[in-house]
């Protein structure tokens, strides 16, 4: 059975998503990649609803086992950071509402996983994704590429995703046990349903 990961690079104007299936060894195959957009001239409620609907459509379409999301830091104090955080909250909620596991990765973790350097630029990430996923062209825009990089990071970090709360605290052993039970239940359910 294949592990399917949906990576999310949260953003209010462009929210990147990338879906990968884990292959043998460290390989992974591209399932879907793109961005969900909202219009800058719309109000926040309309924008969050647009992004949520786009992400919900992808969750329904691809039924991922894990949703991996890039962590947003407050110290990235740009004018967009609050919108980005709000979208990340929405993405986490949509996964949680469907009983899909959520994993959070920091940007430097993702860069290090994909390029070997925690300070890689977007061009480097795109170049490595072409090689690692055997693509014809770099995924574009950068938000879509970032979402794929997050999904790839999740696959490489193994079956037990690192799940952190907002304060960066790792989950407790009780939660680990619960998560393992949930995984087993999902596997049983997935096996019984007609998946390829």
Sequence ranges of the binding site for Mg(2+): 9, 70, 143
Q: Is 9 a catalytic residue?
A: yes
**Least distance to its own copies, CB of residue 118, Å:** 20
Query: Closer CB to its own copies, residue 43 or residue 191?
Result: 43
Select the residue interacting with its own copies from 4, 64, 88, 143 (CB under 8 A). Answer: 88
Q: Quick check: 68 binds its own copies (CB under 8 A)?
A: no
Distance CA(187)–CA(189), nearest Å, equals 5
Q: Specify whether the CB–CB gap between 191 and 1 falls below 8 A.
A: yes
Task: Check binding of 75 to its own copies (CB under 8 A).
Answer: yes
Which residues in 22-52 are b (16+ Cβ under 10 Å) and which e?
A: beeeeebebbebbbbbbeeeeeeeebbebbb
* 1-20 residues near its own copies, rule: CB under 8 A: 12
Q: Which phi and psi (to 5°) does residue 68 adopt?
A: -110, 130
Report the nearest approach of its own copies to the CB of residue 52 (Å).
5
The question of whether 143 is a catalytic residue gets the answer yes
Strands 14-22 and 66-70, by their bridges, are unpaired
Q: Which of 21, 65, 143, 146 is catalytic?
A: 143
Q: How far apart are CA 28 and CA 30, in angstroms?
A: 7
Instruction: Calculate the alpha carbon distances from 27 to 17, 30, 195 in Å.
Output: 19, 10, 20
Give, in order, the Cα–Cα distances in Å from 191 to each of 21, 121, 184, 185.
Answer: 16, 40, 11, 10
Please report whether residue 52 would count as binding its own copies according to CB under 8 A: yes
| Residue 121 is among the residues annotated as catalytic for this protein | no
**108 contacts its own copies (rule: CB under 8 A):** no
CA–CA gap between residue 154 and residue 146 (Å, rounded): 12
Contact string 150-189 vs its own copies (x = CB under 8 A)? -------------xxxxxxx-xx--x--------------
Kindly list the residues in this chain that would bind its own copies in the complex (CB under 8 A): 12, 40-49, 52, 72-75, 77-83, 85-90, 92-93, 95-97, 101-102, 104, 163-169, 171-172, 175
């Amino acid at each position: 059975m294949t592990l399917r990961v949906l990576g999310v690079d949260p953003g209010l104007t462009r929210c990147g998503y990338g879906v990968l299936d884990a292959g043998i060894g460290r390989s992974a195959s591209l399932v879907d990649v793109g961005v969900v957009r909202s219009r800058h001239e719309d109000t926040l409620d309309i924008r969050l609803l647009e992004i949520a609907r786009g992400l919900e459509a992808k969750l329904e379409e691809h039924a991922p086992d894990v949703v991996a999301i890039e962590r947003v830091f407050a110290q990235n104090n740009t004018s967009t950071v609050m919108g980005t955080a709000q979208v990340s909250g929405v993405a986490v909620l949509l996964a949680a509402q469907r009983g899909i596991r959520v994993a959070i990765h920091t940007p430097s973790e993702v860069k290090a996983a994909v390029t070997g350097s925690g300070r890689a630029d977007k061009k480097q990430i795109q170049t490595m994704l072409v090689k690692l996923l055997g693509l014809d062209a770099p995924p574009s825009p950068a938000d879509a590429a970032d979402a794929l990089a997050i999904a790839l990071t999740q696959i490489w970090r193994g079956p037990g995703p690192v799940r952190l709360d907002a304060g960066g605290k790792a989950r407790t052993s009780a939660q680990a046990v619960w998560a393992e039970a949930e995984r087993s239940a999902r596997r049983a359910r997935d096996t019984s349903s007609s998946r390829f």
